[in-house]
Amino acid sequence: MPQSPLINPDFTFQKEEFSEHLNLEKYLVKVQARADKISDKFVIIFFIIGVLLAPIYQTWFFSLITGGSALLIYLLARFVLNNKFQARMLISAVYAVFMLQFIGQMHGMAETHFFFFVNAALLIIYQDWRIMLPYAILTVGHHSILAILQVTYGMDNLAYYFISYSGITITGETVAYVTVFQLVFHFTIISIMTVICGWWAVIFRQNSIFLMKNQIEVQVKNEQLITSDEELRQNIEELEAIQNKLNSVNNEMTYSMMDLENKNRVIEEKNLHITASINYAKRIQEAMLPKINRIEASLPNSFVFFKPKDIVSGDFYYYHEIDNKIIIAAIDCTGHGVPGAFMSLIGNELLNSILDKNIYTPADILTNLNQKIDKALNQTELSSRSTSDGMDAAICLIDFEANKLEYAGAKNPLVYVQNNEMNIIKADRASVGGNLTKKQKKQFTNHSISFDVPTSFYIYSDGFQDQFGGEEGRKFNIDKFRDALLNISTYPFSQQQEVLETIFENWRGNNKQIDDVLVIGFELTPS
């Protein structure tokens, strides 16, 4: 029985050969090629057996002529015919010729069963039941012709001997008469063997296809597994690379975090030192500012709404008493925080030095303050540094004996409410200090307001009116601020600061405070 193509290591099938778009016959090409090689060997062996039987039975004619002719036909079928199916059908007939040759050489028909089975088994290797047909037809035809000649002409007929001498059957010998039973028996045996061997060929063919399909499936799965394994390996390598990179990044982040923590610690320590220094500066500034109870002692109806943006402020209020007069001022220095606080210290000290020279008129105070700031900050000489540093101020001189108030302003106006009517005294447009490139001498105007009736006065910086807030995040603006001052003037002075603070906080909401806030209010009544 032929070896399974799956078992034979010479038989390998690529998955491309098993495409559903190709004819299944193509998958048996290698099987049939191997069958051709086996047939080559057996035909040569059959020819050699015929030659070896010739001296024993004196059948040289059969062995050389019949066997040689069969061999030539076989070679023609194998190597000349392009149609492989026709070639194999001819090979089947060659097997039959050799079988008949051997029967003739051995002078009998009893060997039919044996030779037919052997040759049919050989044809199974092609796994095509149709190849059995020429072999069976030729064998049956031989027996039929032999029987017809035997019945028609008898055993001694020359035609019979002619057929015998041609190598189809026996020669020159007397054989038993071929009966009907023998013919039927032989035909039955041949038919059974043909059916059995043909069925085996079909089964082997189906089995080969099945095995090849399984082989292809196994190969495909193996390739898929190899591909999956390769992808898995690549994924593992990628994950390992990512893991290594993450570890590297993590290490870098750890070092960065440690470095950041160290820097934060240093910054925190510096912040603590800076905050401590600023708090110390705050104490100095608070010590510089006049005490509220001192102001309230002379001006019982008064308030100071002072709200620095930072710990220290660039806004400051000034208070000084001279005999029966009071000087009170609201001053807004350039900047806020520490820079503004330094300017406030300078401004406070310069005001003290001016008053020490008995200069009390507000306009003269502003003029002298401007000159001293220019000199202190070298603003007349410097072209690019500190030339914008200065102050906006509103200075009031209260004369209780004359029932009047003198005012001069550098950008900061005076608002007063008299007989429920608001009045605004505009300030001069120039600031104190901050000359930039202007060399001309600044002039400040002195204003006098009588308070023959109770009058409320308000001086302030621009921090309140510039604060952003409300639903649209806009500035409070000067008009709203003046309306607020007119509104709080109807309240007792003991409540005015609280109302003003409430207005400011409600407007600011969650917005940051953008500047220092200073509002001073006081009421003067005639003596």
Of the residues 194, 220, 246, which one is the last residue of a structural domain? 220
Residue 26 pLDDT > 70:
no
Give the DSSP H/E element, type plus range, for residue 272: helix 180-288
Q: What is the pLDDT of residues 201-249, one digit of tens each?
A: 777 777 777 777 777 777 778 888 888 888 888 889 988 988 888 888 8
Please state, in angstroms and rounded to a whole number, the distance separating the CA atoms of residues 243 and 330.
Answer: 66
In a shared domain, residues 393 and 296: yes
CATH number of the domain residue 465 falls in = 3.60.40.10
Counted domains in the chain: 2
Q: Are residues 28 and 174 in the same domain?
A: yes
Strand, helix or coil at 158?
helix
pLDDT band at 113 (very low <50, low <70, confident <90, very high): low
470 and 388 co-located in one domain:
yes
Contacts of 72 (CB under 8 A, 6+ apart): none
Q: Please state the pTM of the whole predicted model.
A: 0.55
Q: Which tokens in the block code for residue 241?
A: 């690379």
Band of the pLDDT at 403, cuts 50, 70, 90?
very high
209 shares its domain with 315: no
Q: Indicate if 55 and 170 belong to the same structural domain.
A: yes
Note down the domain range covering 121. Answer: 15-220
pLDDT tens column, 440-480: 578 899 999 999 999 999 999 999 999 999 988 899 999 99
Cα–Cα distance for residue pair 59/52, rounded to 1 Å: 10
Q: Look up residue 80 and give its amino acid.
A: V
- pLDDT confidence of residue 328: 98
pLDDT number for residue 109: 45
Mean pLDDT of the region 394-423: 96
Q: Are 212 and 293 within one domain?
A: no
Instruction: Among 220, 243, 263, identify where a domain stops.
Output: 220
**Selection from 407, 323, 428 nearest residue 365 by Cα:** 407
